[in-house]
Structure 1
Amino acid sequence: MKRISYIYGIAITAVSSIFLLSCSDMLDEVPKDFVSRANYYQNEADAQGALNGAYSSVGPDFYGITNYLMTELQGDYLNGRGSQAPISIVDQVLNQQNIGRANANWGTLYSAINRANAVLDNVPLIENISEEARERILAEAHFLRALAYFELVRGWGPVPVKTTESKDLSELSSPREPEAVVYQLIIDDAKAAEAGLGSVQNETGKASVWAAKMLLAHVYLTTENWALAAEKADEVITGGPYSLVSVSVPNDFYKIFAAETSPEDIMSVHHSDISGSAIPTYIHMGSNYPYNYSSSGFFAWLPDTTSFIGASWDDNDLRKPFNLYREFQNAAGNWVSLPSTAPVLFKKFITNSEGLSIYSVPVYRFTEAFLFYAEASAMADGAPSALALERLNMIKRRAYGYAPQAPSPVDYPSGMSRDEFIETVLQERAYEFILERRRWWDLKRTNRVKEAFAEVGKTFIDQRMLWPIPESEINNNPAITQQDQNPGY
């Protein structure tokens, strides 16, 4: 059997004996079928199996509902209900239930890191494997470790850094490292992934060279290395096998998310139609209010229409009716308004009237490369170039149903200052990536958190900028004490 113990946020995996013996034989025979750490890594199949474990941790386990509600509900355009309401009350620290949710995310990420470390430690020693397979598997492990640390450093600040597998309790001691150290590891890992990965994996649920470039662009943008961020985004735009989906009506956006093979999907986490991502359950009304006979839920995430998604959002932007709805079709086929308790709800991720459902959670999609480039190049150059403006306009044109490559009546004008242009890019990002885990991180990295929340009548306290270090980590990691805890907890 396989026993997994989660200790201090790190998964310690023990592969124990596997054998079939009668009761009498157990007393006097040595097990002949024995799987241990020493003899597990024998061939490519073993290496791939270990890598799949890392994918599971940083994939469906992390890109699930617990992570989504902790990031989305700390945005300025929605509010939580029920047990999730305190996440949206940003003038208070998290309560115990939501501290537990933050702790769960920490544990999942360190599980992914430890599993990636196991691959990186052991796969180089395998003899019965092709060099091509070895290089690919190691590159994917580097990507997954980089992605996990990127989530950790943005959410918790300085964090323990582990670059080898932890096999027992004696190997858990690790101090919080400065953010600069963590980011350098992320960049080194992402570069290793970029160098070792082929053009495109068979599945968008796996890392590719293009996903590695997007991660590098994202990290460089976050650390204000503008020129390199623009360079990596440009490489994806000009060299990748992707294209923007054409849109003429709101439901055309389902082609981006609901299609099995979308030309915009650089990397995503694929949930099955049985298990789903759980997101529809949290954003939808109860069973009495189906959206065109869609799945039911308990509307735990309510749009805040005093924010940018309210009256200031142009109704002609097709992303608005794709993301929000105010009426539903009842069993008689009549359209009726949502109740006054929830007059508007989120629509993205909900099955539509044509039966299109979204089971994939985007990690990186092609649209973002254009917006990465626009922001980064304008910051690097001190003003928006013609190319930066064009790439920003391509995304806006598509949003209004125009062809992305041709000038349109909705184009942003030239002549904007750098600051005006950056504000415009961030607004486009806000519209484009609703419920895609971007808004909170965008506000944080651009130092706009308090300003944005003030615009919706909220006071954001400094203690909410970082999530709390789990008490189990403080209690059991010898290199960390209560003095290392983030402020407020």
Structure 2
Amino acid sequence: MKNIFLLIITTILFSGCEKALEEVPKDFVSKANFYKNEEDAEAAIAGAYAGMQNDFFGITNYLMTELHGDYLFGRGSQAPITIWNQILNQQNIGRCATNWSSFYTTINRANAVLDNVPNIENIDANTQKQILAEAHFLRALCYFELVRGWGAVPLKTTESIDLSAVEAPRAPESEVYDLIVQDCLIAENDLGEVGGETGRASKWAAKMLLTHVYLTIENWPGAAEKANDVITNGPFSLINVTESDDFYKIFAVDTSTEDIMSMHHSETKGSTIPNYLHRAGNVPYNYSSGGVFAWLPDTNSFIGDSWDNNDLRKNFNLYTQYQNADGDWVPLPSTTPVLFKKFITNTSGISLYSVPIYRFTEAYLFYAEASSMADGSPSALALERLNMIKRRAYGYDPTAVSPVDYPSGMSGNDFRDAIIQERAYEFITERRRWFDLKRTGKVKEAFAAAGKTIIDERLLYPIPEDEINNNPAISQQDQNPGY
């Protein structure tokens, strides 16, 4: 089985420490002589984090999620992803398999930490507790991606070190979510106020993940409670915005008061996302000598003429001009008259190195939605928190009444629709739109509004053939519909 072989390789690589005793062969370090002290535990959890890769479990995962939105098209080899009235072609089935393998690799690394770190005696108790909590968080994060993408999936809660652990049936979604919630509760209780290093999970990241999970499984009171906790007790604050470029401050490394958890990048090793958004040399948004240039805005969707030009997020997220070799601003070519702008390479005065997993803005929208759904209609506080995000988007003080406020007296349905729309504007190219449409049952409605037809088979990714062929507990009859 493809992912199991990767996990076995990972286990072997994990042991590549030079600190083994002299009598232990240097070309092989077993579990028995690896998990000995705090340094080994730190190396193990670092290996688990490494599974998240450069952006968020790798660009293949990012693109497969993002290109399932209603507001963009794929280009080149990614164009077939956005042919919605057909099942995925073989290349993109392969991309789904790559993502599946990445998640289970990280799960196995987290399981290895959970199985072995508790037995280490030469370790500070608080450090041990923190590392175990991080492993619970990472496992929950992976299973949340899996269950939303594939539905019922095999549950693995112990380390797989050989092929004897291959057999595992698809567990019902409810069981997968039960494990996710358990892991999140442990993580939020045992994690610290901030991550030990940049990009590592804190208890606030765990609370946001748990909020997101509760929202997805429609535990409205639980979601509202957790989101409110982050808003009222967390060390975060909304960044003031008076012009479009102020939104870049949200994505700055180490300086953003809205960063709950992100994939952070250095100046020398940036995100790969800009190459999928920009034409090569699109100054000032992409200085790269080459670009994949594969994600194109669909102006027939909500990002078209219906989006108010006074919303500063529109100019922040989209652009129609770039600078030529003489430094003059010129229109983009007629074949691609609009492109996405949020993610850019390092430019003078703007350093964009972080790719958000959770940011503070979302806590307000989580609370507004969950609270209203729990109560059957929006409370004054739910309305205020939705309006705070909209006011900021138009350059107003988030805490003061503004001309763009949503009115009181909205029905529960209208209020939720407004939240989903604000989420669409706020989180463009941040991996939110597809799963928002799925969990609210609005996929076909949103795609129809953009002039697209989507078949039911596209609501779930295909189970990899390697899993079906090598897992005795899964057969072709377990495959998701259409594949």
Provide TM-score, normalisation by structure 2.
0.95
Q: CA RMSD in A?
A: 1.9
Matches within 5 A, 1:33-72: 35-60=29-54, 62-72=56-66
- The Cα shift of 1:328 comes to 1.0
Preserved CA contact (<8 Å) 1:328 1:338: yes
1: CA distance, partners of 2:455 / 2:235:
43
Task: Give per-residue Cα distances to partners, 1:215-264, cap 9 Å, x unaligned.
Answer: 11000000000000000000000000000011111111110013432100
Which residue is 1:115 aligned to? 109
Which residue is 2:404 aligned to? 410
Matched AA of 2:252: A
Preserved CA contact (<8 Å) 2:280 2:287: no
Matches within 5 A, 1:287-436: 287=281, 289-291=282-284, 294-295=287-288, 297-351=291-345, 354-436=348-430
Which residue is 1:246 aligned to? 240
Matched AA of 2:202: S
- The Cα shift of 1:51 comes to 0.4
Alignment partner of 1:101 is 2:95 = yes
2: CA distance, partners of 1:18 / 1:145:
24
Partner secondary structure for residue 328 of structure 1: strand
Structure 1 residue corresponding to 2:215, chosen from 189, 212, 221: 221
- The Cα shift of 1:30 comes to 6.9
Partner secondary structure for residue 161 of structure 2: coil
1: CA distance, partners of 2:139 / 2:450:
36
2: CA distance, partners of 1:440 / 1:459:
15
Preserved CA contact (<8 Å) 1:284 1:297: yes
State, as a whole percentage, how many aligned pairs show the same letter: 68
2: CA distance, partners of 1:384 / 1:61:
35
Matched AA of 1:290: V
Change (3 A) 1:333 1:193: same
Preserved CA contact (<8 Å) 1:64 1:278: no
1: CA distance, partners of 2:454 / 2:5:
30
- The Cα shift of 1:428 comes to 0.3
Partner secondary structure for residue 14 of structure 1: helix
Which residue is 1:211 aligned to? 205
Partner secondary structure for residue 60 of structure 1: coil
- The Cα shift of 1:478 comes to 1.2
Which residue is 1:14 aligned to? 12
Preserved CA contact (<8 Å) 1:174 1:480: yes
- The Cα shift of 1:407 comes to 1.2
Structure 2 residue corresponding to 1:442, chosen from 436, 441, 447: 436
Preserved CA contact (<8 Å) 1:8 1:473: no
Partner secondary structure for residue 416 of structure 1: coil
Preserved CA contact (<8 Å) 1:11 1:114: no
1: CA distance, partners of 2:16 / 2:298:
55
Task: Give per-residue Cα distances to partners, 1:348-385, cap 9 Å, x unaligned.
Answer: 11147634132211000000000000000000000000
1: CA distance, partners of 2:107 / 2:232:
32
Preserved CA contact (<8 Å) 1:281 1:297: yes
Change (3 A) 1:385 1:59: farther
Preserved CA contact (<8 Å) 2:52 2:58: no
1: CA distance, partners of 2:16 / 2:153:
35
Partner secondary structure for residue 97 of structure 2: helix
Preserved CA contact (<8 Å) 1:8 1:107: no
Partner secondary structure for residue 255 of structure 2: coil
Alignment partner of 1:265 is 2:265 = no
Preserved CA contact (<8 Å) 2:377 2:412: yes
2: CA distance, partners of 1:239 / 1:437:
26
Preserved CA contact (<8 Å) 2:278 2:285: no
2: CA distance, partners of 1:62 / 1:351:
17
Change (3 A) 1:134 1:433: same
2: CA distance, partners of 1:88 / 1:149:
25
Partner secondary structure for residue 7 of structure 1: helix
Matches within 5 A, 1:157-196: 157-196=151-190
Change (3 A) 1:75 1:44: same
Matched AA of 1:453: F
Alignment partner of 1:281 is 2:279 = no
Preserved CA contact (<8 Å) 1:17 1:36: no
Which residue is 1:128 aligned to? 122
Preserved CA contact (<8 Å) 2:252 2:354: yes
Matched AA of 1:14: I
Change (3 A) 1:483 1:32: closer
Change (3 A) 1:174 1:123: same
Change (3 A) 1:308 1:17: closer
Preserved CA contact (<8 Å) 2:285 2:344: no
2: CA distance, partners of 1:474 / 1:236:
41
Matched AA of 1:469: I
Preserved CA contact (<8 Å) 1:80 1:87: yes
2: CA distance, partners of 1:9 / 1:353:
38
Partner secondary structure for residue 361 of structure 1: strand
Preserved CA contact (<8 Å) 2:8 2:162: no
1: CA distance, partners of 2:115 / 2:247:
42
Partner secondary structure for residue 51 of structure 2: helix
- The Cα shift of 1:321 comes to 0.5
Matched AA of 2:317: N
Partner secondary structure for residue 428 of structure 1: helix
Task: Give per-residue Cα distances to partners, 1:64-95, cap 9 Å, x unaligned.
Answer: 31111101111000000010001111111111
- The Cα shift of 1:171 comes to 1.2
Matched AA of 1:7: I
Alignment partner of 1:75 is 2:69 = yes
Partner secondary structure for residue 269 of structure 1: strand
**Aligned pairs, how many?**
476
- The Cα shift of 1:203 comes to 3.3
